[in-house]
Structure formats: structure tokens, C-alpha cells
Amino acid sequence: MLPSAQDAPVLVQVREMYKSFQHGSRKLEVLRGVNLTVRSGEMVTIIGASGAGKSTLLHCLGTLDLPTSGEILFSPVGGGTPTDITRLPPPDLAEFRNRTIGFVFQFHHLLPEFSALENAMMPALIARTPTRQAREQAEEMLDAVGMSDRLAHRPGELSGGEQQRVAIARALAMRPRLLLADEPTGNLDTRTSAEVHELLFRLNLEHDLSMLIVTHNMELAQQMPRVVRMADGRILEGDGQDVDPSNEPESPLASE
């Protein structure tokens, strides 16, 4: 985190989030009262054993899934009263997601028949951005991830690390306010993992991008500015609530 990020405005605040899944007649409680504050420009690393609820938390934050209860308060651009996105109707939710959230997963999910550039343009084209603008945005991010000399390559012609770079460029092409990365290096060798983490770290600094990164790699996590530890559907450490407990999301924004 940049030294100033501690005082940066709150971007999103998760309050008392619960999520359960029904397994036949049994209810599985996966998130059990999660509280988490993420400030603008913060890089947050999430660690925890398999099954702790890390992916579920990211899915709920990214509106790919709805929590069973709790609030996800997103501060609007430029400040003002935060919106509880769990209450948005589905069309608004999709619009919110397209404009606000970028996703990177363990497996890059690039489309094999399309070039790196076309893959990175895809979300913008789906959101009906004019082709030229979509191309410019994608090229700029591919450049930022060091892939500007691979624009015409298809995923099969790229290394694992390069594929993940393209996936990161695709996630950032729409200029999201929050990048959610779920074990983005889970499928990569040690050295390539370190390179991808280094890239994310640099993007965080240079683009003042807020990000939540789930990782299994403890060595890399230890080098990260803020680590959140999860176990059994709860956050044990690093929820950000202790930074300034009196801060309501609107107060730091109002003073801007």
C-alpha cells in the first residue's frame, strides 16, 4: 500500500456478510460474519486454508454471487453516500460490475481462437464500447503488462505467465475501480508467480488501482503491504476495521 493509502477514502466496506449454500438438506455456512474495509488504491492480499471462503468472498464482492445477508457498501466515484450493492436490481448490478470490477482467475479463461488483443478487447466490446476505443484501452493495458509485442498471438502461442498477463490486461481494460484476483498465480511456476505478483504490485502503484488478491503463496504474501487472514468463513486478521474505526465511508470522501 502507498503510505498515503491508510488515509485514502474508503472504496468498499463489507459489513457482517454471511453466505450459505444448501447441500441437500444440509446448510453449509461458508461466510460467517465477514467485515472488511478496502481503501482506494489499496493492495490487499487474502490468505487462508482451502475451504476458508476466500473465493466465495471474492464472488460476493464482485457481484457474481449474492450474500445470504450483510451489506457491501461501495463509495461512488467522487464521493457521496455509499451504495449497498447487494440491493441493486439485476440490470443495475450487471452495469455496476462491468464498470467497477475486474476479475482474474487461476485459469485465465482466455478464448483460444482469439488473439491477445481481441481477448483483451472482449469485455469492452460486450459492454458496447465503440471498437476503436475498446482497441485503444486494450492496447494500453497490454502495454502496461508488457505484452505489446504479442498482440496478434493466440493464447496457445503464449507461455502460462504471458497468458495470465493478457488476462490481467483484459481485466483492467475497462479501467475497473477494483481488481479481484483469485489465485492468479496458482497455476504458474515459482518464478513466473513472482513476476506476476511483481506486475500486480507495480500496477497498483502506477495506476492507483485497488486490488484484492487471493494467494496460496506465503512467501509472496509476506512481501505484500496488507494481508488479510481468513479461516472458517471469518477474517481473523487484517480486516482494516482497526485503521480508523470511527470512519464512516462517506466521511473521508466528504473531506476531499
28 Cβ contact list (under 8 Å, min separation 6):
20, 21, 22
Q: Classify residue 114 by burial, with Cβ atoms within 10 Å: 0-12, 13-18, 19+.
A: middle
* Closest approach of ligand ADP to the CB of residue 28, in Å: 6
Residue 205, CA atoms < 13 Å, CB-side half-sphere: 9
CB of 246 to ligand ADP, least distance (A): 31
Choice between 10 and 58, CB closer to ligand ADP:
58
Minimum gap (Å) between residue 51 Cβ and ligand ADP = 4
CA angle 127, 130, 135 (to 5 degrees): 95
Q: Considering the complex, state which of residue 48 and residue 70 has its C-beta at the smaller distance from Mg ion.
A: 48
- Contact call for residue 55 and Mg ion (CB under 5 A): yes
- Binding flag, residue 13, Mg ion (CB under 5 A): no
Give the one entry of Mg ion, ligand ADP, none that residue 180 binds, where binding means its C-beta sits below a cut-off of 5 to 8 angstroms depending on kind. Answer: none
126 binds, among Mg ion, ligand ADP, none (CB under 5 to 8 A by kind): none
Among 54, 108, 135, 170, binds ligand ADP (CB under 6 A): 54
If one asks whether residue 185 binds ligand ADP (CB under 6 A), the answer comes out as no
Residue closer to ligand ADP by CB (options 72, 142) is 72
Q: At closest approach, how far in Å is the CB of 214 from Mg ion?
A: 6
In the block, residue with C-alpha cell 464498470: 99
In terms of Cβ atoms closer than 10 Å to its own Cβ (0-12, 13-18, 19+), residue 151 is middle
Dihedral sign for Cα atoms in the order 241, 238, 106, 165: positive
Pairing of strands 210-214, 178-182: parallel
CB of 215 to ligand ADP, least distance (A): 11
| Pairwise CA distance, residues 236 & 247, whole Å | 21
54 vs 197, beta carbon nearer Mg ion: 54
Binding site for Mg ion (CB under 5 A): 54-55
